[in-house]
Amino acid sequence: MNRRLSPGPPACLLVALIASTAARAGQGNDPDLLALYFEAQMTQAEKLAVVDGHFGVPISGFYTIPPGALGSAGFVQGATALGLPNLQESDAGTGVADPTGTGYTMPVRGTAGYSTELPSGLALAATFNPSLAYTGGTMIGEEAHREGFNVLLAGAMDLTREPRCGRNFEYAGEDPLLAGTMAGNLIAGVQSRHVMSTIKHYALNAQETGRMVLSADIGEASMRQSDLLAFEIGIEIGQPAAVMCSYNRVNSVWACENNFLLNQVLKQDWNYPGWVMSDWGAMHAVTDANVGLDQESGDVIDQLLHGQRFFTNLGAAIAAGTVPQWRLDNMVLRILRSGFASTAYAYPPVITPIDAAADEAVSEKAEEQAAVLLQNTGNLLPLSKSIGRIAVIGGNAINGVITGGGSSQVIPVGGPAPPIDTATGLPHPVVWNPSSPVYALPAEAPGASITYDSGSNTAQAVASAAAADVAIVFVDQPMSEGYDAPDLSLPPDEVTGANQDALVEAVAAANPHTVVVVESGGPVLMPWLGQVAAVLQAWFPGAAGGPAIAHVLFGDVDAAGRLPITFPASTAQLPRPVLDGVDNPNTPFDVNYAIEGAAVGYKWFQRQNYVPLFPFGYGLSYTRFSYSKLRAIGGETINLSFIVTNTGARAGYAVPQAYLALPPGVAEDTIRLIGWKKLLLQPGQSARVTLAADPRLAANFDATAQLWRTIAGPATVRVGASSADLPLSAPVTLTAGTLQP
Ligand code: BGC
């Protein structure tokens, strides 16, 4: 074989080249053998290049992007002479982000920089529908592929230990089974389109304040039963090409130089075959390679933050014996293996226009199932199609729906809706998807008179509400990477500066038929809850948020979302009522996650006997369900079945959930989600649901013996509509057993 093709084969030849080379070598499709075959032919310089990731965005006067980089988060030079492609990396989990397209400027990628945004990661988790997460993953994976990327930095899923965290919108909630399942399915969907996905940020990157300096402190057993279990499940389901280690320290050791996390847990215990990439600027030494880090990302960010690009010196470190050669070989093998296993090498991206209409439909379906009906007094919703007068107020609802800021920022097709760059005090500008809820309403109620008031003048808003049959108030909470909300209250209106809580109260006082639609990154307080009729939690609703919200409000679809996260009644209920590091975020500090340990979210609320504003798993439907005939069998895990029946008059989505309730004292977390099903049931229809619990959910991690141990003894299986509404229960006996980690 002539291994030096000059200047390098065009993309369309790569498939043929790889296939014929591999076939000649008799390696078939086995990714490990293919990786070995190609790694053996690489020069040292090629190997060093493959582990050294570059930032993909120019920094004026300081940094020029490498030739060939598409201008997104990252670029890694491949051994192209051998047919191994460059890595073109883009954020993130709700769509192909454009880091330069903040709304002031045209994206550097031109119109290709515009992409379709899914509802936020938290919204996807609220669908409780793994197949929707998979489909969403295929949509964003396909767009990435058509925009020239073969790596999508998706799969964000740090467990929500801090409801004020500015990145909760990117994550998948507070429960390890739910978060791992939903993120894992999204990742699998992305990779089905020949685009490698990450899972991130490993691990315990639960708050943004001080993320570059803090140490997340927690015992091994607690971590294995919570955050690490979420990653373990996500990796099993999604088989991501790469794991991104996080900025923070874990038990004092940087996550990207953490032998325990990277070598022991990930690579040894979980047998993870892919590669570990650093978050951008999260490396601390060239010797991080010795404890499991396989690739530096965005190396100029390391230079800016830490004074050097670490893997630029890797060759010298190997020559000096500080890092062994076998490590470099293994780092390369892991990257190559993922390239083959994910099929990303075999099917290089082909720059093609995205199918914006089809992709928007995927996003719309996801939001329709993500919106959670929190309150519906007097069955005000769904609204009648023959309603006369609707007053829509606030939330920039005439222009669009809000999105989350930071590296995951997707720039919508056609550009953001106005306003652009409102000063919020957030580190990233707020971008609005041009999907107007107001303009989606006439299709729902063709005869209605619809008014819109921005809410900037309370008296005017009240007057328009008083003159209408129903008032729909939109409120929002901008959130972003690099930021945590000071508390759980709604901030002043993003656009008008109005006090949103006061606006809702004033409108509700003028019209008893007030509906509040909340577009937030996570939980918010609702001091007006007792005064309004209905509340729809719409999250960050994505590219088709306007029509999706309208469809739910008018009952074209059932209210189908459930909360993937507890809504606290106050910050006093949190394990850390005051956010750690808030006064001095740049000085190293510790966050004591041992307070709640494995009892994250609803598990903490149950342990403390706190009544939240809304519990995990909660969400109303437009119909009603009953649950019966629970049968549960114990042993080293739990098998159960029950019947769920639609007892109402409309078709609707049931999301029955099964929990394991353990006697007090036998575990840190004595209530655990062990399974759920999402079912569309016609009026009167029943379905039998059968579930088998993952045995790890019936076990505690024994850190001394380094294995999972079933919690032998009596326990209870409980089934119902949410973590706090579990009408069925059945005793089970768990028998002693162990599982390897
Ligand atoms: C974020 C990552 C992201 C990376 C590249 C970092 O700031 O934490 O989630 O993938 O930037 O843009």
pLDDT digit string, tens, across residues 33-78: 999 999 999 999 999 999 999 999 888 889 999 999 988 899 999 9
Residue 153 beta carbon below 6 angstroms from any ligand 1 atom: yes
For 160, 184, 249, 377, the CA distances from 157, given in Å and listed in that order, are 9, 9, 17, 34
Closest C-alpha to ligand 1, atom 6: 280
Do 175 and 564 meet the contact criterion of CB atoms below 8 Å apart? yes
d(CA 272, CA 540) in angstroms, rounded, equals 33
What integer pLDDT is reported at residue 233 of this predicted model? 98
- Ligand 1 midpoint to CA 200 (Å): 9
Under the banding of pLDDT at 50, 70 and 90, the label for residue 691 is very high
Q: Is the peptide bond before 81 cis (omega within 30 degrees of 0)?
A: no
What integer pLDDT is reported at residue 25 of this predicted model? 52
- Ligand 1 midpoint to CA 155 (Å): 12
What integer pLDDT is reported at residue 58 of this predicted model? 87
Closest C-alpha to ligand 1, atom 3: 407
**Which atom of ligand 1 is nearest the CA belonging to 298?**
5
Closest C-alpha to ligand 1, atom 2: 279
Closest C-alpha to ligand 1, atom 4: 280
**Which atom of ligand 1 is nearest the CA belonging to 73?**
12
Residue 246 beta carbon below 6 angstroms from any ligand 1 atom: no
- Ligand 1 midpoint to CA 74 (Å): 10
Residue 407 beta carbon below 6 angstroms from any ligand 1 atom: yes
Percentage of residues of the chain with pLDDT beyond 90: 89
Number of other CB atoms surrounding residue 625 within 10 Å:
20
Task: Please say if the pLDDT value at position 87 is more than 50.
Answer: yes
CA 362 to mean position of chain CA atoms: 17
Give 552 or 418, the one with higher predicted confidence.
Answer: 552
Residue 279 beta carbon below 6 angstroms from any ligand 1 atom: yes
Closest C-alpha to ligand 1, atom 11: 280
Under the banding of pLDDT at 50, 70 and 90, the label for residue 12 is very low
Under the banding of pLDDT at 50, 70 and 90, the label for residue 414 is confident
Residue 278 beta carbon below 6 angstroms from any ligand 1 atom: no
Q: Give the residue, out of 149, 168, 304, 407, with the most ligand 1 atoms within 8 A of its beta carbon, to mutate for a pocket test.
A: 407
β-bridge pairing 411-412 and 253-254: unpaired
- Ligand 1 midpoint to CA 722 (Å): 33
CA atoms within 13 A on the CB side of 333: 14
- Ligand 1 midpoint to CA 7 (Å): 32
Handedness of CA 441, 115, 64, 303 (dihedral sign): positive
Closest C-alpha to ligand 1, atom 8: 279
- Ligand 1 midpoint to CA 300 (Å): 13
CA neighbor of 677 nearest in space, from 736, 599, 622, 617: 617
- Ligand 1 midpoint to CA 620 (Å): 35
Do 685 and 707 meet the contact criterion of CB atoms below 8 Å apart? no
d(CA 553, CA 111) in angstroms, rounded, equals 33
For 182, 235, 442, 452, 596, the CA distances from 709, given in Å and listed in that order, are 26, 22, 58, 59, 21
- Ligand 1 midpoint to CA 229 (Å): 22
**Which atom of ligand 1 is nearest the CA belonging to 201?**
9
Task: Please say if the pLDDT value at position 98 is more than 90.
Answer: no
What integer pLDDT is reported at residue 427 of this predicted model? 86
Give 104 or 156, the one with higher predicted confidence.
Answer: 156
Task: Please say if the pLDDT value at position 568 is more than 70.
Answer: yes
CA 202 to mean position of chain CA atoms: 13
Beta strands in 64-158 (DSSP E): 74-76, 87-90, 114-115, 151-152
d(CA 108, CA 113) in angstroms, rounded, equals 7
Straight-line distance from the first to the last Cα atom of the chain, in angstroms, rounded to the nearest whole number = 44
Beta strands in 193-317 (DSSP E): 196-202, 215-217, 242-245, 249-250, 253-254, 275-278
Residue 158 beta carbon below 6 angstroms from any ligand 1 atom: no
Closest C-alpha to ligand 1, atom 5: 73
Task: Please say if the pLDDT value at position 1 is more than 50.
Answer: no
> What is the average pLDDT score of the chain?
94
For residue range 179-213, list pLDDT tens digits in order.
999 999 999 999 999 999 999 999 999 999 999 99
Residue 91 beta carbon below 6 angstroms from any ligand 1 atom: yes
Residue 73 beta carbon below 6 angstroms from any ligand 1 atom: yes
Residue 280 beta carbon below 6 angstroms from any ligand 1 atom: yes
- Ligand 1 midpoint to CA 37 (Å): 32
> Cβ contacts of residue 34 below 8 Å, gap of 6+?
18, 22, 27, 336, 337, 340
Full DSSP string of 371-436: -EEEEEGGG-PSPPTT--EEEEESTTTTT-EE--BSTTPPEETT-PBSP-----SSSS---EES--
CA neighbor of 93 nearest in space, from 129, 123, 137: 137
Task: Please say if the pLDDT value at position 284 is more than 60.
Answer: yes
**Which atom of ligand 1 is nearest the CA belonging to 97?**
12
Task: Please say if the pLDDT value at position 102 is more than 70.
Answer: no
**Which atom of ligand 1 is nearest the CA belonging to 170?**
9
What integer pLDDT is reported at residue 104 of this predicted model? 33
Do 155 and 581 meet the contact criterion of CB atoms below 8 Å apart? no
**Which atom of ligand 1 is nearest the CA belonging to 91?**
10
Compute φ and ψ for 467, nearest 5 degrees.
Answer: -90, 0
d(CA 620, CA 558) in angstroms, rounded, equals 9
- Ligand 1 midpoint to CA 99 (Å): 10
- Ligand 1 midpoint to CA 156 (Å): 10
**Exposure of 357 by Cβ count < 10 A (0-12 exposed, 13-18 middle, 19+ buried)?**
exposed
Q: What mean pLDDT do residues 533-547 have?
A: 98
What integer pLDDT is reported at residue 424 of this predicted model? 74
Q: Give the residue, out of 91, 209, 256, 295, with the most ligand 1 atoms within 8 A of its beta carbon, to mutate for a pocket test.
A: 91
Task: Please say if the pLDDT value at position 8 is more than 80.
Answer: no
- Ligand 1 midpoint to CA 405 (Å): 12
d(CA 520, CA 505) in angstroms, rounded, equals 18
- Ligand 1 midpoint to CA 527 (Å): 35
What Rg do the C-alpha atoms of the chain give, in angstroms?
25
- Ligand 1 midpoint to CA 408 (Å): 8
Do 166 and 483 meet the contact criterion of CB atoms below 8 Å apart? yes
> Cβ contacts of residue 164 below 8 Å, gap of 6+?
207, 484, 485, 486, 487, 488, 522, 571, 579
Q: Give the residue, out of 54, 57, 76, 280, with the most ligand 1 atoms within 8 A of its beta carbon, to mutate for a pocket test.
A: 280
- Ligand 1 midpoint to CA 362 (Å): 25
- Ligand 1 midpoint to CA 287 (Å): 22
Q: Give the residue, out of 279, 295, 483, with the most ligand 1 atoms within 8 A of its beta carbon, to mutate for a pocket test.
A: 279
